[in-house]
Structure 1
Amino acid sequence: MKKFVMALVAALCLGMAAGALAGGGAIKAGDEIYVCNCGEKCPCGEIAKKAGRCTCGKDMVKARVTGVEKGKVVVTLDGREREFKTVGKYACGCAGCGCGSTAQSAGKCACGKPMKEAKP
């Protein structure tokens, strides 16, 4: 029973982390977030509420949100609009760290801890 409760708590925390940047009006136009700036071909697509390194190993950059649509945010980087998914295949699994990292590839989140596979 104890293992079940711990697994349930971990799943809830992961679900909250995966949705920290998505839905519910959590991000709106004008907000500043941190994103991967490696280019559209970079597979990580990481976004976070706090500065850090992307799952691809590069430093994230601060960007202002110019638009929000279902499942994605639009930011301007280097004079060009870029879209990022707000729900990643991976998310920060830390309870209470607040980095809100989501990414499309495995690696470490903005807070430096390993990303966890997000559950749909």
Structure 2
Amino acid sequence: MPTLTTIFCETRPHTQEPAEWTGEARFLLDPPGDLLGALHAAHLHDLGHPDDLSVQVSAEALFEDGEITGRTVLSAADLATLTAHLPEAHHARVLAWAAFAYALEGQGNDARFVIWFVE
């Protein structure tokens, strides 16, 4: 069972030319098993990480102390699907994450959530 969940929101300008992702915020959800179970129930688990992670997120993963498992990337819209599978105590928090991402998207950015677990 994982002992830690790492959740980063990354953004990049929504432009015609490809832009680099930047780490915007780090989120926590405890206990990690709640998120892991919800990801499995929503069929959003282990989707992998893309090759174009931000420098901040890549560095964080590189220096993680334990074994990284459950790599996945979600959109703000995916969080609505995920929320239905989480205990009610987490709903407001996860909906706030989605609102944060939608606000960034409203400013002309792409946003995504990069997630992994540490065992």
Question: What TM-score comes out, normalization by structure 1 length?
Answer: 0.27
TM-score by length of 2: 0.27
Does 1 or 2 have the higher relative contact order (CA < 8 Å, sep 6+)? 2
The structure with the greater share of residues assigned to helix is: 2
